Amino acid sequence: MNIARLKSEPEIFYSLQGEGARCGSPAVFLRLAGCNLHCSWCDTRYSWLPGCECSEEEVATRILSLNSPGLVITGGEPLLQTAALEKLLTLLPEHLFVEVETNGTLPPTPALVQRVNQWNVSPKLPHAGNNTAVAICPEVLASFASTDRAWFKFVVRGEQDWPAIAALNLPQHRIILMPCATNRAELEAARPAVADMCLQHRVRLGERMHIVLWNDKKGV
């Protein structure tokens, strides 16, 4: 597996889930290297670079040593490494709650659909600076929406983003809006407008707890 490199070490750490439906839950984080999108506001650009090559057995050992009830697999884009993910998950206990963070451009394999407990799908809106034809894949998003295991998180800047979200016809009760922010000051400034959006469109406001607690620190 190609694991994102942080301070010369593979980025595997124990913390609290900072976003989404399980915000605040303890989990081990596994950040994979490589991404097929390049968002202008990405706060983990180092994950775009080649990382540390580790065997699935080594990664499983590191995860299990942290004795966590949950695992969050993030990136980069984890589904660029589906074969390695499938193997890794066979080495972990079935009771481990597994979340995968994905940008929703790549479909999961049947084996991953069966094993992953929750999909945190974060489609990238035009303000992220990607080619929309590449960043938004309606058929992939529809396949995630057809399950009851997917939540859809959108990083938003304001009301102008809502038409693009509404056009995707995703389950309203599983849409989460989060302020576009990479540090605590930006988050505080952006949150009120996003809260108003959530009230207007009757969707969920998503916290970015890791920023609230640790500002822009990495590996926490």
Give the start-to-end residue ranges of the domains of the chain.
2-153
pLDDT digits (tens, 9 = 90+) for 136-151: 999 999 999 999 999 9
pLDDT in tens, 69-114: 999 999 999 999 999 999 999 999 999 999 999 999 999 999 999 9
Half-sphere exposure of residue 90: CA atoms within 13 angstroms, side-chain side: 7
Q: What angle do CA 206, 210, 215 make, to 5 degrees?
A: 120
Say what the pLDDT of residue 218 is: 87
Q: What is the 3-state secondary structure (H, E, C) of 156-169?
A: ECCHHHHHHHHCCC
DSSP reduced 3-state for 42 = coil
Angle between helix 56-65 and 82-90 (nearest 10): 50
pLDDT tops 90 at residue 219: no
Q: What is the pLDDT of residue 29?
A: 98
Per-residue pLDDT, averaged over 116-125, amounts to: 98
Q: What is the pLDDT of residue 46?
A: 94
pLDDT digits (tens, 9 = 90+) for 21-38: 999 999 999 999 999 999
Q: Whole-prediction pTM value? A: 0.95
Residue-averaged pLDDT of the chain: 96
- Beta strands in the chain, from DSSP E residues, in sequence order: 2-3, 5-6, 9-10, 12-16, 26-31, 52-53, 70-74, 97-102, 118-121, 150-156, 175-179, 204-205
Task: Give the closest residue to 137 by CA, choosing from 178, 79, 74, 88.
Answer: 79
With a pLDDT cut of 90, the percent of the chain lying above it is 94
- pLDDT surpassing 90 at residue 220: no
Residue 57 one-letter amino acid:
E
pLDDT of residue 7: 87
CATH of 2-153, one of 3.20.20.70, 3.90.1170.40, 3.40.50.1220, 3.40.630.30: 3.20.20.70
Handedness of CA 181, 187, 192, 198 (dihedral sign): positive
pLDDT tens figures, 148-157? 999 999 999 9
Closest CA relative to residue 147, chosen from 119, 105, 175, 173: 119
